[in-house]
Structure 1
Amino acid sequence: MDESRDMRSRPQALTPGPEIKTTGGVVRGITTHDVHTWRGVPYAAPPVDDLRLRAPQPVVPWEGARDGSRYGPVPIQERIGEFIGAGRHTPMGEDCLTLNVSAPSTPSDEPRPVMVWFYGGAFVVGASSAPTYRGYDVVRRGECLLVTVNYRLGALGYLDFSGYGTPERPIESNLGLRDQIAALEWVRDNIAAFGGDPGQVTVFGESAGAISVTTLMATPAAHGLFHRAIAESSAPGMVFGQERARGWAAGFVSALGADDDPLRGLTTATPDELLAAARILRETIGDQPGTIPTAPVVDGDLLPESPLDAFEGGRAVDVPLIIGTNDTEGRLFELPRMRMDVLVSEERASQMFALTQPELRDQVLAAYEGTAHRKDLGGDYMFWYPSVRVMQAHRGPVWAYRYDLTTPVLNLMGVRATHGMELYAVFGLVDSGAARVLTALGGRRHLRALSERIQADWVHFARHGTPAGHWPTYDTDTRLTKIFDRTDRVESDPRRERRLAWQGFRGYD
């Protein structure tokens, strides 16, 4: 990886940047591409040894100026590539609770708005250091600050082992969610020193990061820590009850070989042993299609109810919200190494309905059978329809979108505007290696133009609380939705027939 490469600029050298005093101590930044950046800044104590599986604790102060030129270790995860998480040589470890701050190098008389990014990856992979999320374009264009946050993943962040804790050695639930809240508290307390406005914070994320956004909106402890929200391809229903979550935790303990002494096994297992047990768990939950065991849990403590219930009951925080999905979300998961069978198998979809609301099975399947949208059933189940439920229930202003831009290569692959494709536009990755492959047969000019427009909307929203372009708010009378494509347009109640077919579906508890 070339640390100095910006996706739209020629390579530039890294030069020393300003020193900033934080609650932990002084951090020395670097400057590149007209952006000051401070990398690997701790926002909590290392969650290691006695702090493994514990809620994040206050940052440990350091002496002298900390080097902010290097990213902190990525959370424990499988090494599947640097694009979103960990490549072969990426440093990895449990001491991962760090964040990165980027700001324009030009001075400003006024505090700048702050955008806080939570990465995706099904809560099992991802890292704030991934090249995808550098965000130099966003910072320069928006005259804003960008904060990208590491949070714990997999067993260490999203399995509910709280039932195995003791008074002497407690274990908290929702550790990854607690990490995100701790990072937002750090932003509140420190971002002014970097030139940011702690009263003008936008949280945004994609996939698991967007689930994080909609979950934080339903988490009372997070209320007041952010003022706007953007959810790109959230799956708001991928939050489960404690009974189900503790069943998954028990399965993990068995896979770890720790049934005789779960607490000791969980607190002493090596990272490789934890990852191996997680692989076994994923292979043994086939009787619950359409779920992910690593996800936030309704614990009655930090998260008192499911986000969808909170939205529909008017108890989610009523900040302005941009929320949307991509045209063919589920088709990414037909690819060999991405396959999620509930999204592509009619048999598994039928099993999912049998475990949730069997009375709706025929009604929903009838909207897809014999149509060009048959392959989109799973993506609609996981991402689109639950996002519609948020759109129609949220008490604050809502701007709804669908991302439709595709390329000839994506069309040949059969995935079109599938899950994650909007990231190229949001982060200005038009000239990245992956984008060059995806536009090898055409489409780069359209992607570049859309990137200009979507970034303008996102940063205007962060600064003013409204998108930049023509984009009416969403309501249940007109359901006006912006379609991002070669030429943007606004449609009323797109996919009405499919929406009505899903109406009343609530999913797993």
Structure 2
Amino acid sequence: MRISKNLRAVAAIALLTSSAAAVAQTATPVIETENGKVQGLEDDGIDAFLGVRYAKPPIGDLRFKPPEAADDWTGIADATGMGAPCMQLYTASGPNESDLTRGIQGIFPTATEAKTDNEDCLFLNVWTPAAGDGKKRPVMVWFHGGGYAYGSGGWPAYNGRNLAAKGDVVVVTVNHRLNAFGYLNLAEKFGEEFAASGNVGNLDLVRSLKWVRDNIAAFGGDPANVTIMGESGGGSKVSHLMAMPSADGLFHKAVIQSGPGVSSGKPQDAADYAGKILDQAGVETVDDLVTVRADEIVDAVRKATPASAGMGRGPQFGPIADGTIIPRDPFLPRAPEQSSDIPVLIGYNKTEMTLFVASQPWFGRIDEAGVTGMAAMMGEDAVAAVDAYRAMYPEYSPTHIASLALGTRFVRGTYLLADQQARTASAPVYVYRLTWETPVGGGILRSPHTLDIPFMFNNTKESAALVGTGKEAETMGDMMSDAWLSFAKTGTPSSDLLPEWQAYTPESRMVMELDVKPRMVDDPERTIRQIGQ
């Protein structure tokens, strides 16, 4: 019998949006973790354990400190709903100011989570085909996007149910400390006790991987076959974990999507930014650090951050190369030796920046002269990028040329990281470029940031607001989820819908262009890659 007599509610009731009928959901088996028992709910044949605590609440005396293993509990912990996201540092200037991009909030609910955030946020979610059956399935751990400022593992786009069902794998998504709560460098002001404060958000990720190592077998997963994945800020998190000694041995493959983390922040810059935030919050002593309200910290960050900051300008939160937790920039001057045996899948989308700039007043209105003037203000590299993209895409509008030029950091960072890893690694590197264009909004976004997520998660139908409907979107979802699952299982991405995916090397920069008709291409953005070299 799968339903525990000890579960407070034998079955939860789900309200169907299409009718007033109520349908009983079946409880999962009770699973024994290292800290106690948990029980969730089945999701169409997949066992879902949501909001599982993987560390102590990082509050009070643990604020700005490394995470500690969760306390043991008695009874059966509820795992039927998501845990709270970390305190969010999301602003209305983000990518939700048009009708189109606001609709995408349904799968990336950034603004909504700012209403439900909490400092007590160290939770993870597990989807498994059969908890407790003793099988050893590949484990796919996802670290969310949103930079290091906002987001959570609970976004609907990250729902692991379909991927777990399709591939017979275990999917895990993770919440961790963000912005000032995860990356406020207090070492200069408050000394050794807070030496780790500038990197505790990334230490949370390490703690979640230790939880996976110690517990995932009970959920039907194989702790010896763990793939870490992330997009945007999540890709940077994966990149940094590859260079963190404390993460060594906790994962076996890495996927970096639209977020190459080649370098880290600098401790002094982070300490200076922290000082301004503390001044705004009125924090002078260690006692103040413990007692200041979380919302007052968020408010102080907003006051201490220039209005013009964003898109790589001004002070930013993120991990710092402190010489210990993160010994140096992850991929400079070379790839991290500890991850030389880690197969890497890395890539980006053709027009990343359209998602961010679609709400700008110039989008759809800028002319050729405007693009030239914008590039001139941004410097020689931007001018070179505009010239290169005009040659590559003579049919593109000035709006899309400008968007491409604004997104070269994704392109150049991806190839730099791939080059560095491929030069010294014993494991292969595979590179992709997503070129399929979404039809939503009349096709105005082309191949925007986040477009890859619904496809590799096999959540195409649930993500129609971003990918549209129809056969092409289904094909892209089938293709990319196949490849990601294959990579998690074997270290090689493959699908019957793809040609053979050749490994990338500095001598033969083979890239899989992901489209309805995919193809292998040699160094498809050579001119952009070489800018500034």
TM-score, normalising length: structure 1: 0.86
1:388 aligns with 2:415: yes
Q: 1:313 to 1:57 in 2, by over 3 A?
A: closer
1:226 aligns with 2:237: no
* Pairing partner for 1:334 from 347, 357, 380: 357
Q: 1:3 to 1:252 in 2, by over 3 A?
A: farther
Contact 1:164 1:171 in 2 (8 A): no
Tell me the SS of whatever aligns to 2:214.
Answer: helix
Contact 1:159 1:294 in 2 (8 A): yes
Partners of 1:179 and 1:338 in 2: CA distance: 39
* Pairing partner for 1:276 from 278, 290, 299: 299
1:369-448 residue pairs with structure 2 within 5 A? 372=396, 373-381=401-409, 383-394=410-421, 395=425, 396-410=427-441, 412-413=443-444, 415-432=445-462, 434-436=463-465, 439=468, 444-448=470-474
Q: 1:207 to 1:39 in 2, by over 3 A?
A: same
State the shift of 1:467 in Å. Answer: 1.0
Q: 1:126 to 1:337 in 2, by over 3 A?
A: farther
Where in structure 2 are there 5+ consecutive unaligned residues?
A: 1-12, 92-104, 364-369
Partners of 1:269 and 1:287 in 2: CA distance: 26
State the shift of 1:498 in Å. Answer: 1.5
Partners of 2:256 and 2:127 in 1: CA distance: 21
Partners of 2:32 and 2:324 in 1: CA distance: 34
Where in structure 1 are there 5+ consecutive unaligned residues?
A: 504-509
Partners of 1:168 and 1:478 in 2: CA distance: 48
1:83 aligns with 2:107: yes
Q: 1:88 to 1:226 in 2, by over 3 A?
A: closer
Amino acid at match of 2:107: F
Partners of 1:480 and 1:5 in 2: CA distance: 47
Partners of 2:430 and 2:529 in 1: CA distance: 18
Q: 1:339 to 1:320 in 2, by over 3 A?
A: farther
Root-mean-square deviation (CA, aligned residues, Å) is: 3.2
1:299-310 residue pairs with structure 2 within 5 A? 299-309=322-332
Q: How many residues align?
A: 482
Q: 1:452 to 1:289 in 2, by over 3 A?
A: closer
Tell me the SS of whatever aligns to 2:482.
Answer: helix
Partners of 2:15 and 2:527 in 1: CA distance: 48
Q: 1:466 to 1:74 in 2, by over 3 A?
A: same
Partners of 1:474 and 1:369 in 2: CA distance: 27
Partners of 2:206 and 2:118 in 1: CA distance: 21
State the shift of 1:108 in Å. Answer: 5.8
Partners of 1:95 and 1:322 in 2: CA distance: 33
State the shift of 1:240 in Å. Answer: 1.3
Q: Deviations over 1:418-477 (max 9, x none)?
A: 111111212233222x514752xxx53111111011101111111111112321111122
Tell me the SS of whatever aligns to 1:240.
Answer: coil
1:43-442 residue pairs with structure 2 within 5 A? 43-78=54-89, 83-84=107-108, 85=110, 87=112, 91-105=116-130, 110-166=135-191, 172-237=197-262, 239-258=264-283, 261=284, 263-283=286-306, 286=309, 289-290=312-313, 293-309=316-332, 311-312=334-335, 314=337, 316-336=339-359, 367=388, 372=396, 373-381=401-409, 383-394=410-421, 395=425, 396-410=427-441, 412-413=443-444, 415-432=445-462, 434-436=463-465, 439=468
Q: 1:148 to 1:281 in 2, by over 3 A?
A: same
Aligned to 2:102: none
Tell me the SS of whatever aligns to 1:15.
Answer: coil
Aligned to 1:490: 520
Contact 1:4 1:13 in 2 (8 A): no
Q: Deviations over 1:272-318 (max 9, x none)?
A: 21222222333256499546611111111100101121644655443
Q: Percent identity?
A: 31
TM-score, normalising length: structure 2: 0.82
Amino acid at match of 2:79: G
State the shift of 1:319 in Å. Answer: 0.2
Aligned to 1:506: none
